[in-house]
């Protein structure tokens, strides 16, 4: 198909072991008894085992690194539910409401809105990050790390044009940089023992983007920083009718109850006040226009039934404010891009490539490289200056400070809240 792109053979180049062979791949009898190991939810578990004709047949096992499409493990198309949290206070009635339960069934039966797409993305996310956590260590280059993650995502989600694929470039922001860094070609950064690494991974299925991030450290100095941000993300105050400004206040309060001692000096953990969580729309990771602040604000906007939110919080030992800094890697075509006549032929052609391969999904320079584009910077900058493409440069606090991030995608279902990206790791 013309939409699918050529997959580079990066396993060998990076010295990773080649994917293991599928133990059972004759495909005549699906193994519906192997669900994702150790994951929450009930996907596939309720199924009765069929009497097998061939008792010697082995279970399908995921390879290491994970490269076997997730759908092979869920042949009925039912993926594990995330963590279920009941609504509180004035919304307790929703859990048992017949009407709300009916609404939910209707949503799930509609192929356009079903929860199975986001849950499939979340299951891929859990497997990819499980491997990443085991695999990433100081001494590795950013390029090695990102290839490992993205090769895993592409394989597990069974990348197929706009049907399924990477949701956005993998963020690998280090230390004082909080977000929007991923290596460009030629990047020479190598992970260090004392680094604080934010890993932000996006997976989409039919445009439903699972947006979830975590922080990795190897130096125990930053344990409290990581703990603070994890706790703030898990504050759990999100819900239907909750006001965004008040949710920000709850996040701020949790975050500010921590401090971190670095070389004998105590630093308060500050929420980064100019970063925020966001609603997610199909194919638009920042679609829907609502922001979840990390500090108290006067925003009276309420969260609403049916919305998908990325609840992400960032803590910092620095100012608690980020500015754009460093070479840009992330871009996305605007969903409301104006129709401007492009005089630059190269920009016209690049826009075609972007429309065909990403639409409004964010992409990075590496993704253009692997599509065979070269010397596109002038054209790309032209699309940015014409307001067609938005650039997202790295966002950094002051040099010398450390920042951490945790993020989950949540669904405000009619009856309950579902933390769809929850795993046993965070």
Please identify, using beta-carbon distances, which residue of 72 and 422 lies nearer to Co ion.
422
| C-alpha–C-alpha distance, residues 43 and 76, integer Å | 9
Query: Do the beta carbons of residue 411 and residue 279 sit within 8 Å?
Result: no
Query: Do the beta carbons of residue 210 and residue 167 sit within 8 Å?
Result: yes
Which residue, judged by CB position, is nearest to Co ion in the bound state?
310
Is 339 annotated as contributing to ligand binding? Answer: no
Residue 200 catalytic?
Answer: yes
Is 135 annotated as contributing to ligand binding? Answer: no
Please identify, using beta-carbon distances, which residue of 68 and 310 lies nearer to Co ion.
310
Is 418 annotated as contributing to ligand binding? Answer: no
Q: Is 316 exposed, middle or buried (CB count within 10 Å of its CB: 0-12, 13-18, 19+)?
A: buried
Is 278 annotated as contributing to ligand binding? Answer: yes
Q: Minimal distance in Å, beta carbon 178 to Co ion?
A: 12
Residue 178 contacts Co ion per CB under 5 A = no
Residue 219 catalytic?
Answer: no
Please identify, using beta-carbon distances, which residue of 301 and 349 lies nearer to Co ion.
301
Residue 211 catalytic?
Answer: yes
Q: Which of 104, 200, 273, 307 is catalytic?
A: 200
Q: Which of 125, 131, 204, 278 is catalytic?
A: 278
Residue 83 catalytic?
Answer: no
Contact string (CB under 5 A) for Co ion, positions 301-320, x = contact: ---------x-x--------
Q: Which residues lie below 8 Å from residue 5, measured CB to CB, with a gap of 6+?
A: 159, 357, 370, 371
Please identify, using beta-carbon distances, which residue of 104 and 312 lies nearer to Co ion.
312
Question: E strand or H helix at 261, and its extent?
Answer: strand 259-262
Q: Which residues lie below 8 Å from residue 244, measured CB to CB, with a gap of 6+?
A: 290, 291, 292, 293, 297, 299, 300, 301, 302, 303
Q: Which of 131, 286, 382, 408 is catalytic?
A: 286
- 32, 81, 104, 211: which one binds Co ion (CB under 5 A): 211
119 to 48, 77, 124, 360: CA distances (angstroms): 22, 10, 9, 21
| C-alpha–C-alpha distance, residues 137 and 147, integer Å | 14
Is 241 annotated as contributing to ligand binding? Answer: no
Distance of CA 298 to the CA centre of its chain: 28
Residue 407 catalytic?
Answer: yes
Q: Minimal distance in Å, beta carbon 276 to Co ion?
A: 9
Is 390 annotated as contributing to ligand binding? Answer: no
Cis previous bond, 65, omega within 30: yes
**Known binding residues for a divalent metal cation:** 200, 211, 278, 312, 407
Q: Which residues are catalytic?
A: 200, 211, 278, 286, 312, 407
Chain residues that interact with Co ion, rule: CB under 5 A = 211, 310, 312
């Amino acid at each position: 198909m013309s939409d699918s792109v050529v997959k580079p053979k990066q396993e060998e180049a990076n010295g990773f072991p080649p994917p293991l062979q599928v133990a059972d791949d004759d495909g005549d009898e699906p193994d519906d008894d192997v669900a994702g190991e150790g994951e929450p939810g009930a996907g596939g578990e309720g199924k009765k085992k069929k009497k097998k004709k061939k008792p010697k047949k082995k279970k399908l096992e995921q390879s290491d690194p994970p490269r076997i499409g997730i759908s092979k493990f869920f042949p009925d198309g039912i993926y594990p539910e995330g963590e279920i949290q009941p609504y509180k206070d004035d919304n307790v009635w929703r859990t048992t409401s017949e009407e709300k339960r009916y609404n939910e069934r209707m949503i799930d039966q509609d192929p356009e809105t079903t929860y199975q797409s986001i849950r499939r993305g979340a299951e891929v996310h859990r497997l990819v990050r499980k491997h990443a956590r085991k695999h990433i260590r100081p001494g590795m280059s950013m390029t090695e790390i990102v290839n490992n993650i993205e090769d895993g995502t592409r394989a597990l989600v069974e990348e197929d044009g706009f049907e399924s694929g990477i949701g956005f470039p993998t963020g690998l922001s280090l230390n004082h940089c909080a977000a929007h860094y991923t290596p460009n070609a030629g990047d020479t950064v190598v992970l260090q023992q004392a680094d604080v690494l934010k890993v932000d991974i996006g997976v989409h299925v039919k445009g439903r983007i699972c947006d979830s991030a975590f922080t990795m450290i190897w130096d125990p100095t930053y344990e409290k920083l990581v703990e603070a941000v994890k706790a703030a993300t898990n504050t759990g105050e999100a819900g239907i009718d909750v006001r965004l400004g008040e949710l920000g206040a709850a996040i701020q309060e949790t975050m500010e109850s921590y401090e971190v001692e670095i070389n004998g000096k105590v630093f308060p953990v500050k929420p980064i006040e100019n970063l925020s969580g966001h609603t997610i729309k199909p194919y638009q990771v920042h679609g829907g226009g609502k922001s979840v602040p990390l500090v108290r604000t006067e925003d009276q906007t309420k969260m609403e039934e049916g919305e998908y939110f990325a609840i992400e919080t960032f803590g910092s030992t620095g100012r608690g404010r980020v500015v754009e800094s460093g070479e840009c890697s992330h871009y996305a075509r605007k969903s409301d891009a104006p129709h401007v006549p492009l005089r630059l032929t190269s920009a016209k052609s690049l826009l075609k490539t972007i429309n065909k391969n990403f639409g409004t999904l964010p992409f990075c320079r590496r993704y253009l490289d692997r599509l065979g584009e070269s010397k596109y910077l002038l054209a790309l900058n032209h699309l940015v200056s014409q307001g067609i493409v938005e650039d997202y440069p790295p966002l950094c606090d002051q040099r010398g400070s450390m920042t951490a991030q945790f993020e989950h995608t949540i669904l405000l279902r009619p009856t309950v809240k579902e933390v769809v990206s929850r795993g046993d790791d965070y």
